[in-house]
Structure 1
Amino acid sequence: MARSYDSLVRFSSIFTIVMAGLMIVAKASAWLSSGSAAMLGSLTDSMLDVTASLMSFFVLSYALRPADDDHRFGHGKAEALAGLGQAAFISGSACFLAFHGVERLFNPVVINHSMMGVWVSVFAIFCTLLVVLVQHQVVKRTQSIAIKADSMHYKGDILLNIAVLVALLLSHYGIMWADSVFAIGVAGYLLYNCWDIARESADHLMDKELPEEEKAHIISIATSHEAVYGVHNLRTRQSGKIKFVQLHLELDDDMPLMRAHQVADEVVAQIQVQSEGEIDVLVHQDPVSLSVTESANS
């Protein structure tokens, strides 16, 4: 299963990089021949795509390494660091594109060979659809978080390429402002994605708690055990693909240590089986009288 997972994720990453490379070559040719600001925006986005895909490919290989003596909690946060780097790169490119679009809005130029840009946009839409289809199949079989995030980005690129296609068609029929307006729109789209990437990366680095529904699910699993009277001091976070959970189990005061240890192991096993993805659970056993005293003091 591990080999199948690695092969599928690697195939999806390589296929995505190859298709993004083909789109860069086609869009660069169209931009150089037409001078379209909207096409430049689409070219910029494709260059960011291939950069992000390459970074994801190499960082994922590092992030999936098992824990070692120097990184006892694994290497998952490498993905978040890479995300912040991507966000900085994207924001700079988007600002450059926005300035270029505003300049073209006040100083419009005639778009040359706009129909070439139209056909290139159609080609880009076709390539992006292929990428999304492959990624969808890989995500369905592996549930890879990295591929799932990449797929969401490329689904947005389909809309982006359609917007460029409309801008070029309008420019072909003499509506000159369309090219500049769509270029500014592309810049806004890039900045929106930049903010989303930065926020998610910061959440991982700052050990943000898991969503409330996931925490409620974990508590429900723990308290479903017949020997568990309650749960308190639940703490959660996520690092890369691994979710970390810590909680205190409230057990009978007179329960033997061997039995308390067995109950904790059973609860951990059930949480790991009934939760999505890889999860690391640390349990502390508290006698009921002690847990009641702690709750009163707090």
Structure 2
Amino acid sequence: MTAIASDERARLTRSAALASISMALFLGALKGWAAWKTGSAAMLGSLADTSLDLIASIAALIGVWVAAQPADHDHRFGHGKAEALAAIFQVILIVISAIGIAWRAVQQLLSSTPTQAADDGILVSTIAILGTFALLVWQRHVIARTGSLAVRTDNVHYKSDLFLNLGVIAALVVDQYLGFSSADPLFGLAIALWLAWGAWRAAGEAIDHLMDREWPEERREEFLAVLAKHPDIRGVHDLRTRTSGADDFVQFHMAVDPGMTIVQVHDLMDQAEARIAREFPGVEVLIHPDPEGLINETGQAAEELLPGAGDGQ
């Protein structure tokens, strides 16, 4: 993800959320008409999912708007976790949608209610696929530029909508043209399972943000490698990292020559922060200097050697 200005990020994420809301309104009207015409459980499930998508997209819009607000007196670390909260709300709606679709499919499977007007249902689903695909292309562009968790979770909805609408078409074709009356509810159950799986995956990342999960090990190693390029940084320990919305935070203890003056240590920290800013734009850093060889409470030296420390690259 390329670093971009906060106002540009806010503009892109808002545009993605507004596009999702517009698409959900358009598809909801189409699918409502098609569900009435066909009596299809798969189509009804698709309508229910689109209705919840509308609510989820509104939540995403609120989430990205709040997350874009600058840090204030009561929220010194910013409002980035609003995106994770919006994502959790979206996940809950996906689960509700999956349960409702599965329930309706089981009822239809037991009652063997036939579907009708396959042509209308197929036409509406085809339009929905084309519209959803266009939205997904824009969302992927926004995600690539911003890394927005709320937009990424919204993207999960609409990815599943592609399969959902394909499932509706397949169900209507198999049911009405091939004579397999159980196809529609079985496809409805498959769609419900797909939605549940998408919710499970989306929940994991949102929870990681809320629980301040550490960066992936590969990124931590890259961060340490940047510090190792400075010859006066003797070691680093207690490295802590986390991500909140678009913001990254890092804090660590840095081992330095015990003979340095306070001014020299301060200059060294400024240099380290400048290196980090070049390699990791936008990351907020907190550094605590320690004299090299300091013994911690366990009776061991606290420094962990940096890869290639002191090579001066």
* TM-score computed with the length of structure 2 as normaliser: 0.87
Report how far residue 2 of structure 1 moved: 4.8
CA distance 1:79–1:257, shift in 2 (3 Å): same
Report how far residue 184 of structure 1 moved: 0.7
Q: Which amino acid in the other structure matches residue 63 of structure 2?
A: V
User: What SS is found at the alignment partner of 2:213?
Assistant: coil
Deviations 1:124-149 (A, max 9, x none): 00001111222233344555454344
Report how far residue 198 of structure 1 moved: 2.7
Distance 1:41 1:295 in 2: 62
Give the alignment of 1:1-298 within 5 angstroms: 2-173=6-177, 174-275=179-280, 278-290=282-294, 296=300
User: What SS is found at the alignment partner of 2:294?
Assistant: helix
- The list of structure 1 runs, each at least 4 consecutive aligned residues, that deviate by more than 6 angstroms after superposition, is 292-295
Distance 1:294 1:223 in 2: 25
Report how far residue 10 of structure 1 moved: 2.7
Contact 1:160 1:186 (8 Å CA) reproduced: yes
Deviations 1:84-117 (A, max 9, x none): 2232333223212212111211211111111111
Q: Structure 1: state its 5+ residue gaps.
A: none
Distance 1:165 1:23 in 2: 15
**Higher helix content, 1 or 2:** 1
Distance 2:155 2:21 in 1: 13
* Percent of aligned positions that are identical: 38
CA distance 1:239–1:142, shift in 2 (3 Å): closer
Q: Quick check: 135-144 or 23-32, which moved more? A: 135-144
User: What SS is found at the alignment partner of 1:296?
Assistant: coil
Q: Which amino acid in the other structure matches residue 122 of structure 2?
A: V
Aligned length: 297
User: What SS is found at the alignment partner of 1:67?
Assistant: coil
Q: Which amino acid in the other structure matches residue 252 of structure 1?
A: D
Distance 1:42 1:273 in 2: 47
CA distance 1:89–1:15, shift in 2 (3 Å): closer
Distance 1:206 1:143 in 2: 18
Q: Quick check: 200-209 or 246-255, which moved more? A: 200-209
